[in-house]
Amino acid sequence: MKKLIAFVLSLVLFVSAAPCAMAAQYHSYEDLQKLYDTVVNYVFKTEDTLKRILTDEEDEFCAVPMLAAKELLLSGEAYTDEDTTYAYNGLYDTLSMLILIVQRDGSLTSDATLNILKAVSDTIYDENYTVVAGEDAAKAARERKAQIMALISNRGNVTADEFSAEINKYYYELYDAAKLKINYCNSFFSVMEFTDVKKNDWFYDAIDYVYKNDLFKGTSKTTFSPNELMTRAMFITVLMRAAKVEDAAADEAFSDVRTEEYFAAPVSWAKKNGILDWVAGDTFEPHKPITREEMLACMYAYAKSINFDSSSYDMSLADRITDLEDADENFREALSWGFSVGVITGYGDDSIKPKNTATRAEVAQVFINLKLVLGN
């Protein structure tokens, strides 16, 4: 059963209430509750259709606003008006999206569906769309909307095939716009369903950050495996994602990295940018767990590659490290830098355990630290 439908079927909220139009204003818990109940009711009413036509991707991004709204509603007054407004807006656009999806089950050119498309157009291309898409895109979308409304009013002036083709095209333009708005609101909420990550765990915020920012996901739909070791290949992949590099080529950077491997492009990018200068020889050993000193060598080299200025930091803080001499000599500068700027904080005795391998949770924490330091 689809995640969204299974989630809704587990609820006991049954209130029939029409949502107020989304506007550039704060929405209260009461607004969110009413809209939440409306969406639940709509999913119940269209359950059979959604089971047949809802894709896995649609199921994923439509479920997030429902889960975020549920978390807010269960929290009492723990969140701000801004939080409830983002949840409300995401949920409102999810309702529009679900209505659009259900229309796929019939003719898009029927009178009933055309009336629905008119109404959904108004909710999708509202003033919030300008915030999400930008003024130019919003202006073009509204001009396109006016063009389609005129076409519907004068459908007798074109052939049936021409009318159908134009309405189908507009349907998917609306669909993409609704998805854009949903994902925008979803970006403000991280709904993790990992059974091995609890809110009182020291690494919760770090894993929340890497999950929310698509740096790395779980090892399954229900587990993150925070204590599992991070491999060199995965670490470099995450670093490239954090750097927001999307066009790296998969070259034969090392003899043991095949171009068809998922990490080939990240490793090639890292080698070209001097991030892997610490690797000796022609092999990378991609599946070997990365050590803390190797991890910091990569981050230090990356910071230098983007001309990060460390001059405002007190580098003498590294003098507190109690086990720096345990690190290989060529890693000590990177470790000193990382400790001084705050990428790593060390343990209670000011040791950094450079030879220890790094867990997924530790890597997540280091990446949120790096974000705070570099600010990009």
What DSSP string runs through 52-68? HH--HHHHHHHHHHHHH
Instruction: Report, as an integer, the average pLDDT of 7-25.
Output: 40
Where is pLDDT greater, at 260 or 12? Answer: 260
Tokens of 305: 């590659």
Min mean pLDDT across 52-61, 133-142, 226-235, 250-259 is at 52-61
Structure tokens at 85: 């407004």
pLDDT at position 211: 86
* C-alpha to C-alpha distance for 61 and 369, rounded to whole angstroms: 28
CB-based burial label for 228 (10 Å; 0-12, 13-18, 19+): middle
pLDDT exceeds 60 at position 218: yes
Q: Which residue has the higher pLDDT, 190 or 68?
A: 68
Tens-place pLDDT, residues 132-175 = 999 999 999 999 999 999 999 999 999 999 999 999 999 999 99
Separation CA 126–CA 130 (nearest Å): 7
- Look up residue 34 and give its amino acid: K
pTM of the full structure:
0.57
Helices (H), the chain: 3-9, 29-45, 47-53, 56-74, 81-103, 111-124, 127-133, 135-153, 160-186, 204-212, 232-242, 264-272, 292-305, 332-341, 360-374
Is residue 6 predicted with pLDDT exceeding 70? no
- What gap in Å lies between CA 194 and CA 219, rounded to an integer? 10
Q: What's the whole-number mean pLDDT along residues 322-330?
A: 95
Between these two residues, 276 and 74, which has the higher pLDDT value? Answer: 276
